[in-house]
Amino acid sequence: MQSRTHFYPDSFMTADILTPAIKAKVLSEALPYIRRFHGKTVVVKYGGNAMTDVSLQKSFAHDVVLLKLVGINPIVVHGGGPQIDEALRRVGKQGTFIQGMRVTDEETMEVVEWVLGGQVQQDIVMMINEHGGKAVGLTGKDGALIQARKMKLADQHEPGKFHDIGFVGEIASIEPAIVKALQDDAFIPVISPIGFGDDGHAYNINADLVAGKIAEVLKAEKLIMMTNTPGVLDKNGQLLTGLTAKRIDELFADGTISGGMLPKISSAIEAAKSGVNSVHVVDGRIPHCLLLEILTDQGVGTMIRSH
């Protein structure tokens, strides 16, 4: 594992106040990373504050375009929970949850498709294009990218009992041909986590799971998951900068990793075990966190490896 120092939000300096000497140091530091990762695929799960804060949106788009320009192949998989909640409120829809999972009836699924595959996806595509990139939006239906099946939610307390939560899906398979074709033509794929089943229905899938599975199938060099926290924290709130599969199992067992972090870290370790070289849970509240994580010695989160 490469030696890295951690980068804290309050230590961030904007380009406007960097001296020429510091700028030169940053650029020279990036060169070996550019060489190492040239031609490699990096999957980015985009969500949290980075999706809603205007200045962070711009720094994210800038980073994605720059990575593509230096020969790295970024793929963006986005979430959109808060945007879905807001859209449901506007149509007077009251959400129902079972064990933290949204019950997604047909009307709710229509809203999910409109928000994720329409509004949110196109905002990201336009933002990247405005910064000089060539982004293309995809859902699971495009090129049969994400084949889904209905999720069976096991009851936490009654073994053998399952809850019907509607059109919430699991990934049956990923067909990456369309993503590879776009990458070869210098496009940046932006993927909404909507899968399609043999039954003809669309299914809402956890974006962390989609990002992890796409990274696995494409044998990505890195999977980067942007969050609203500094990374994975221990019980005392201290950042864990490096984790292995064995250590993560211990953190699951003692409850250190719980709630919304569970699917994220489960997807991360599955990807690491399945051939993704490294997985990073990074603080998306730090401007240019992607460049800092990929092209410098600075660490902005938790690095996860299989061993």
What is the model's pLDDT at position 180? 93
User: Look-up: residue for tokens 């409120």?
Assistant: 89
Average predicted confidence (pLDDT) for the chain: 87
What is the model's pLDDT at position 13? 42
Percent of the chain with pLDDT over 90: 51
Nearest to 149 by CA among 195, 108, 106, 192: 195
Percent of the chain with pLDDT over 70: 92
Q: Is 80 labeled as ligand-binding?
A: yes
Find the mean pLDDT for residues 284-297.
87
User: 257-281: per-residue pLDDT in tens?
Assistant: 876 777 788 888 888 888 898 899 9
DSSP state of 27: H
Phi/psi at 107 (5° precision): -65, -45
128 band by pLDDT with thresholds 50, 70 and 90: very high
131 band by pLDDT with thresholds 50, 70 and 90: very high
What is the model's pLDDT at position 18? 54
| Least confident stretch, 83-87, 111-115, 215-219, 246-250 | 246-250
What is the model's pLDDT at position 3? 46
187 band by pLDDT with thresholds 50, 70 and 90: very high
User: 10-56: per-residue pLDDT in tens?
Assistant: 444 444 445 677 667 777 888 999 999 999 999 999 988 788 889 99
Cβ distance 205 to 169 under 8 Å? yes
Burial class of 201 by CB neighbour count within 10 A (0 to 12, 13 to 18, 19+)? middle
User: 58-113: per-residue pLDDT in tens?
Assistant: 999 999 999 999 999 999 999 998 899 899 999 998 878 887 778 899 999 999 99
What is the dihedral sign for C-alpha 128, 130, 135, 141?
Answer: positive
Give this prediction's pTM: 0.88
Domains of the chain: 37-304 (3.40.1160.10)
- Which residues does residue 73 pair with via DSSP β-bridges, in sequence order? 41
Q: Is 102 labeled as ligand-binding?
A: yes
